[in-house]
Amino acid sequence: MIHNTHFYQFITPLKMHLVTGTWAPAAGGTAGWVCMSKTAAANTPVITIPIDIPQNSIALQGSKLVSIDLWYEIATAAANAITPVINKCTLPADNTAYAAVAAQVFSYDTGHDTAAKRYAVQKHKMTLTLTTPIWLSELDEILVQLTADCAATTALTIYGARALFTFRT
């Protein structure tokens, strides 16, 4: 039996769904890093991040999602807001409607526990810790949505995300 409380899964920005704004893959501020950068403009992009970790149909086995780290950068001018949401989705049976997503309750790390800290001009590593960690069944999907209300000269870059989870077999 494996019971490891320190499993991690990195999610590259190339796996994220980026809506609104002009986005382009780019080399990061340091050679060798890949990121997605949005051209500065007054708009409200939404970044959807699939949390791709193992699932299991047996209760209390597979993965228990504990927290999610997000790496992003705001440059030139502060954003007006940065709002993350962690949604749990349940895949339906055949010929059944998709159920509404269920927003999960989480807390922020101390560097992002106020709105002003989340949208400041700087390089960010924001940690979202689930209040109640989730054991994922074979029908669960976790999607993080990061909405950024950008000012006219706000440049936004996303470097990736990482899930921390317990893995048990």
pLDDT per residue rounded down to tens, the chain (169 residues): 888 899 999 999 999 999 998 898 877 667 778 899 999 999 999 999 999 998 888 888 889 999 999 999 999 999 999 999 999 998 888 888 888 999 999 999 999 999 999 999 999 999 999 999 999 999 999 999 999 999 999 999 999 999 999 998 8
Residue 144: the pLDDT is: 98
Look at residues 68, 59, 67 and name the one whose alpha carbon lies nearest to residue 135: 59
What is the number of domains present in the chain? 1
CB-based contact 70:143 (threshold 8 Å): no
What pLDDT, on a 0 to 100 scale, did the predictor assign at position 148? 96
Question: Which residue matches tokens 């920005």?
Answer: 13
What CATH number has the domain bearing residue 21?
2.60.120.260
Structure tokens at 166: 């317990």
User: According to the model, what pLDDT value does residue 99 have?
Assistant: 87
Task: State the residue range of the domain holding 108.
Answer: 3-168
Q: Which residues of 137-165 are buried (b: 16+ CB within 10 A; e: fewer)?
A: eeebebebbbbbebbeebbbbbbbbbbbb
Residue entry with tokens 């991690």 = 8
